[in-house]
Structure 1
Amino acid sequence: MCGIAGIISNKANSASQLQEMLVAQKHRGPDHTGFYEDQGFACIGHNRLSIIDTSSNANQPFKDPSGRFILTFNGEIYNYKELKSRVQDYNFRTTSDTEVLLALYLQYGKDCIQLLNGMFSFAIWDIKNKKLFAARDRFGVKPFYYSEENKFRFSSEIKALNLHQKTAPNKKVWSSYFLHGSYGMPDETFYSGIKQLPAGHYLEYDFSSEALTITKWYNFEEKIKNRNSIKKLINLKEEYLALLKDSIKLRFRADVPLAFNLSGGVDSSLLLALVDQFKPDTDINAFTFYTGDKNYDELPWVQEMIRQTNKPLQKVKLSVNEIQDLALKISQHQDEPFGGIPTLAYSKIFKTASEQGIKVLLDGQGMDEQWAGYDYYLNQQNQTIQGLKKGSSAFKKEVIEKEFQALAIKPNYPTPFKSKIQNTQYRDLFYTKLPRALRFNDRISMAFSTELREPFLDYRLIELAFSAKDEYKINGNSTKHTLRQIAAEFIPKNTSYAPKRPLQTPQREWIGNDLKDWVATEIEHLKHSIFSEWFDHRSLKLEWESYLNGNNQNSFYIWQWVNTALLISKFDDFE
């Protein structure tokens, strides 16, 4: 897990600017900072967090034996050992997955990405032809941002690109965020001059012609349509469990200590149970967060699982008096709006793990999207937020000025499948739930120089579960039906069949009580910022007062306002 950056330009100051970009995202890889310059054409950089082959031989940017190709790579290729045996006529000088990736590119060209099982974002500069090839993994676990201002620039984080260009807010994305809860389409960001390479795509940039082409390399829709779904439930369970065990085994490949995150839900509980099977005699630490509020904390379920496996548990508490400072810190790392106080609580796990020398954590992200686990799959409402009551809205359109409202575009997501459940899953996987969760989690893990691995996001698992019949996902009032049956063989029944709990922190209560003065201050900041003209401040004040008076069924819209205020400094140049 690392940071990548590059500038494809003939400007004389490119080298110094890239060095500054690398400093801005050094938290992503504090173990080594690498730099390569093809003078007059390109500068390629890398921030390294050493996980596999921690020797200096595996430092990046990594050069092939001929010296023609320069690789900067962020992520992990979990099946690198198996792929290494496929490489011909190449003498490896490291045991890293980095070198395997470059060797595969030499042998297969851009088709090598089809072979990769992992999370990755990488760029390869061709010194001879002065061309850049870059690719992002199937589901966008690892980020890739770019700008076409001053030729072509790319990085792992927006803040690195923002150092040397004035970037205005992307008003369409911001307006759609306030009105519809959208975090942008797969190629968009909240910044007008910065885009992201969509998940499952690669790009090619030619220095001479300045031509940029973007190509979709992972055709998920075709793979599902060409796949025969397993007819018998018992066969589905057997195949899925075998793949899941293999996925976990692959993600234990590391030359540094590992741990994992644990909540009280079925997903992470199953992960714990299978880790215990895989490493029964190893004291692998489990981390969980709590707030001290029994209405939200999942400690009872977590502790029940821990008693079953005897794995060490570290409980990490988030206190309300930490919120103000932590929210500002995490907001600066996120660069864009993020999910709320649960994200802050989750960030403390990575901080604690990092302080104890742990570099890699596993978690249970991805099960709800592949097995239709959110409550809106049951009522077939067109929602993207878990836990909302029928007919209710998480947004307050009336506080947004009408001219700014007009910029919003209600997202219209593709529906490539006959099944409504599959179309909702497809939306969640590639447009809504998963992309935003992966972005939140990448930034908070990297803020504390730790790598997050997600065994349930192995593409083989997602393709298998997604292609299963609807009745294998939803059964009566039970979501994730097949997964719960699998889990029941390993974890207590009251955990495997417990409904998904949408709320894990007392965000609503804290905002209206302990944090109300801070929230009021942040709302006031909006009046005197670049964002001021976006709001009807009278309506905003009335909604805030209504919330304080008990109309607080959800707090998402309040967090939107606070989140926006916290990001004011990112756009100071445009006041």
Structure 2
Amino acid sequence: MCGIAGIIGSNSNGIQQLESMLKSQAHRGPDATHIWNDGNVYLGHNRLSIIDLSSEADQPMVSSNGRYIIVFNGEIYNYLELKQQLLSYTFKTSSDTEVLLALFQQKGKDMLHDLNGMFAFVIYDKLKGEIFAARDRFGVKPFYYSFIGENLVFASEIKTLFTAGVEKVKNKKVWANYLSFGTYGLPNETFWEKVNQLPGGHYFEYSLGDEKIQPVRWYDFVGNVLKMPQLAEEELKRNYLQLLQDSIRLRFRADVAVGFNISGGLDSSVLLALVNNEFPNNNAIEAFTFYTNDYRYDELHWVELMLEKTKKPLNKCLLQVADVPQLIKKIATFQDEPFGGFPTLAYSQIFATAREKKVVVLLDGQGMDEAWAGYDYYQTKTGYTIQGTKTSPVRPEVLTEEYQAYASKEVYETPFDNDLQNLQYRDLFYTKIPRALRFNDRISMMHGTELREPFLDYRLVELAFSQKEAVKIKEGQGKWLLRELMKDLLGNEVALAPKRPLQTPQREWMASDLLEYITSKIENFSNSDLVKKDKVLSLWHEYQNGNQENSFYIWQWINLNEMLYEN
């Protein structure tokens, strides 16, 4: 896991410009920073050393034939298996980066289908003068790009492009939609008009002098799902468990310490059970969880109960209300776009603690709900994408007339013949997963740590997603077959527990301990050109007086205030 950046095009100040770009995202790779250039192509890399810790594995890396140069962010989990297919290549390192480079040298872009991992990379073909860029299937690792004049610039973070000189202009449609519908833009969009992102599962090829980028979808999720057989329940359990075990094994490949994040929910419990089954006697594998000392939200009791049997060490990371203002400011600086509320602040404490303890890689349970239909709105059909709320999480009436005109609800693909799979597809590729992956990438990388998502192994997602609704939802219970599978591992109390949103006392703290701080931020935000001041202040007054069923819209205002005025 690292940071990549580049400038494609003749640039007399290219090296100095790229050095500034790499400095702005140095937190992503504290172990080494290097640049390669030939006067027309400038490639830079911030390295976080995970596999092959030697300097020989630093990047940019040149292929054995000298033709290709790569900068790569991510991990190829099945690199050892792929390496066995490349016996004619003379390897100089034991890194997954060199396997990726060798595979491209042998197969070109067709090699993408062989990869099991998270990745965003650029390979420069010196012979053809072409750039090849690709992003992993679900977009776990980021890739942003823009043009400055005739030069293409790319990076792992938006702020890096601003450092390069990209103009910081609001994408008014995305801002308006965020406040109107709670969405975060389409897969190619960002909150900034001049900054694009390469969608997950896409690549592009670019020749020097081209005027635009044309992304191409390489990951055919829909086609793969439609070809997947419907399995009998026992066979499905057996196949899925085997894939789960393999996914965990692959994601423990590292030359540094690996730990995992845990809450009291089913997904984290599954992760704990599988880690313990694979490494039953390894008590050096540490677990991490956050808490707030509020019994209404904390899951510490459940976490301690689960870990009691495994003897894995538990690191308890406390989010205190006094730390919230400073954390909001700091994390907003690293995110560049709106992010999740106080739970994201709490989650960041985990990565800070892990880094202090020299645990550089962490696993978590992201992806189960989307694959197995675990969210309540899959059954209630409210149209919301926020778990656990009974009222609209947004207040679009605060927008000015100008911005109301920009609001246009996104239309998502509906490639399946049933509502459930189309909702799951929306969450995987447009809403829940893209935003969660972005939040989590930034808060892990701000501490120089790597986050791995074993449940987002594409083999697991395709298998679960493709099965009939009856094995996902039964008698009002989401993730039904997964729960049945886990009864033997976890017992009924955990396996059959209802889905709970992972929460903090955000609503309460905003209206009490943080009242003065929140009020000052909202008053500041109410002066922006986005909103009607009197409407914002009126709704905030209602919130203070007890209308607190949800606080998502209040968080939106705080978050946007940081983007507008504080960073």
Same fold (TM over 0.5): yes
Aligned positions of 1:69-88 closer than 5 A:
69-88=68-87
Deviation at 1:9, TM superposition (A): 1.4
> In the alignment, residue 346 of structure 1 is paired with which amino acid?
Y
Q: Which residue of 2 aligns with 1:24?
A: 24
Give runs of aligned pairs for residues 139-218 of structure 1, distance below 5 A: 139-150=138-149, 151-163=151-163, 164-218=165-219
State the SS of the aligned residue for 1:567. helix
Report the alpha carbon displacement of residue 128 of structure 1 after superposing the two structures with TM. Answer: 2.1
Give 2:530's aligned residue. Answer: 534
**Matches of 1:461 and 1:376, distance apart in 2:** 22
Task: Give the letter for the 1:135 counterpart.
Answer: A
Once the two structures are overlaid, the 10-residue window that deviates more, 197-206 or 395-404, is: 395-404
In the TM superposition, what whole-angstrom CA distance separates every residue of 1:92-118 from its partner, at most 9, and x where no partner exists?
011000000000000000111110000
Moved over 4 A (4+): none
1:325 equivalent in structure 2: 326
> How many residues are treated as equivalent by the alignment?
564
Matched, 1:515 2:511: no
Report Cα offsets for 1:290-323 as digits up to 9, x if no partner: 0000000011111111112111111111000000
- 1:70 is paired with a residue whose SS is strand
What's the RMSD between the two structures over aligned residues? 1.0
Unaligned runs of 5+ in 2: none
Which shows bigger deviation, 307-316 or 285-294? 307-316
User: 2-side partners of 1:10 and 1:26: how far apart?
Assistant: 25
Partner of 1:555: 551
- Counterparts of 1:294 and 1:430, CA distance in 2: 34
Deviations 1:321-349 (A, max 9, x none): 00000010001000000010000000000
Query: Cα deviation per residue 1:77-103 (whole Å; 9 max; x = unaligned)?
Result: 000000001114210011000000000
Q: State how far apart, in whole Å, the 1-side matches of 2:94 and 2:421 are.
A: 40
Q: Which amino acid aligns with 1:84?
A: K
Alpha-carbon distance in 2 for matches of 1:416, 1:240: 24
Q: Is residue 2:373 matched to residue 1:372? A: yes
Cα gap change, 1:570 to 1:204, in 2 (>3 Å): farther
CA distance in 2, matches of 1:381, 1:508: 22
Do the aligned partners of 1:30 and 1:47 also contact (CA within 8 Å) in 2? yes
Aligned to 2:546, what secondary structure does the other structure show? coil
SS in 2 for 1:533: coil
- Can you list the C-alpha shifts for 1:489-544, whole angstroms capped at 9, x where unaligned? 1113211111111242010000111111111111122245xxx1111000110000
Measured in 1, the distance between the counterparts of 2:492 and 2:61 equals 49
> Which whole-Å CA distance do the structure 2 matches of 1:551 and 1:437 have between them?
27
What displacement does 1:569 show?
A: 4.4
Give yes or no for contact 2:487–2:495 (8 Å, CA) kept in 1: yes
Alpha-carbon separation, structure 1, partners of 2:307 and 2:87? 46
Q: Report the 3-state secondary structure (helix = DSSP H, G, I; strand = E; otherwise coil) of the residue aligned with 2:423.
A: helix
Give me the whole-angstrom Cα distance separating, in 1, the residues matched to 2:25 and 2:188: 21
Map Cα deviations across residues 341-371 of structure 1 (whole Å, 9 max, x no partner): 0000000000000011110000000000000
2:10 is the alignment partner of 1:10: yes
The secondary structure found in structure 1 opposite 2:92 is coil
Instruction: Determine the C-alpha separation between the residues in 1 that align with 2:178 and 2:133.
Output: 29
- The answer as to whether partners of 1:335 and 1:570 remain within 8 angstroms in 2 is no
Mapped to 2, the partners of 1:144 and 1:209 lie a distance apart of 19
* Code of the aligned partner of 1:122: F
Match of residue 451 from structure 1:
450
- Partner Cα separation in structure 1 for residue 526 and residue 272 of structure 2: 47
Match of 1:333, SS state, is helix
Q: Partners of 1:535 and 1:209 in 2: how far apart?
A: 39
Q: Distance in 1 between matches of 2:337 and 2:230?
A: 39
Distance 1:226 1:84, change over 3 A: same
**Deviations 1:399-429 (Å, cap 9, x if unpaired)?**
1112211101111111110121111100000
Alignment of 1:464-479 (within 5 A): 464-479=463-478
SS of alignment partner, residue 214 of structure 2:
strand
Match of 2:407 in 1: 408
1:315 corresponds to: 316
Counterparts of 1:248 and 1:6, CA distance in 2 = 33
Is the 2:9–2:209 contact (alpha carbons within 8 Å) kept by the matching residues of 1? no
3-state secondary structure, aligned to 1:361: strand
Q: Aligned partners of 1:366 and 1:70: how far apart in 2?
A: 33
Q: What corresponds to 1:90 in structure 2? A: 89
| Partners of 2:405 and 2:208 in 1: CA distance | 38
Alpha-carbon contact 1:73-1:120 (below 8 Å) kept? yes
Cα deviations by residue, 1:442-497 (Å, 9 ceiling, x for unpaired): 00000000000111010000000001110000001100001111111111321111
Q: Which residue of 1 aligns with 2:542?
A: 546
Q: SS of 2:462's equivalent? A: helix
Contact 1:366 1:456 in 2 (8 A): yes
CA contact (8 A) 1:298 1:504 kept: no
Q: How does 1:36-47 map to 2 (within 5 A)?
A: 36-39=36-39, 41-47=40-46
Distance in 2 (CA, whole Å) between partners of 1:365 and 1:15 is 38
What is the one-letter code of the residue matched to 1:568? L
SS of alignment partner, residue 131 of structure 2: strand
AA in 2 matched with 1:99? E
Q: Is the 8 A contact 2:145 2:152 kept in 1?
A: yes
Equivalent residue, structure 2, for 1:299: 300
Within the candidate set 530, 553, 560, 1:564 is matched to: 560
Give the whole-Å Cα distance in 2 for the aligned partners of 1:436 and 1:208. Answer: 33
Which position in structure 1 is the counterpart of 2:241? 241
Secondary structure of 1:267's aligned partner? helix
Q: What is the alpha-carbon distance in structure 2 between the residues aligned to residue 476 and residue 383 of structure 1?
A: 22
Aligned mates of 1:286, 1:371 — CA distance in 2: 25
State the partner residue of 1:423.
422
Distance 1:171 1:208 in 2: 29
Contact kept, 8 Å, 1:206 with 1:212, in 2: the verdict is: no
Q: Is the 8 A contact 1:119 1:142 kept in 2?
A: yes
CA distance in 2, matches of 1:178, 1:551: 19
- Tell me if the contact between 2:146 and 2:152 (Cα under 8 Å) persists in the aligned partners: yes
Give distance in 2, aligned partners of 1:14 and 1:456: 40
Structure 1 stretches lacking a partner, 5+ long: none
Deviation at 1:557, TM superposition (A): 0.2
Q: Residues 448 and 277 of structure 1: is their aligned pair in 2 closer, same or farther, counting only changes over 3 Å?
A: same
1:372-394 deviations in whole A, cap 9, x for unaligned? 000111212322110111xx201
CA distance in 1, matches of 2:166, 2:419: 43
> For residues 44 and 215 of structure 1, what CA distance do their matches in structure 2 show?
22
Report the Cα offset of residue 439 of structure 1. 0.2
Question: Given that residues 38 and 127 in structure 1 are in contact (C-alpha distance below 8 angstroms), is that contact kept between their aligned partners in structure 2?
Answer: no
Check if 1:226 corresponds to 2:222. Answer: no
Whole-angstrom CA distance in 2 between matches of 1:199 and 1:302? 33
TM-score (norm 2): 0.98
Q: What amino acid is the match of 1:521?
A: S
Residues 381 and 516 of structure 1, relative CA distance in 2, 3 Å threshold: same
1:173-203: per-residue Cα shift (whole Å, max 9, x none)?
0000000001000000000000000000001
CA distance in 2, matches of 1:564, 1:71: 36
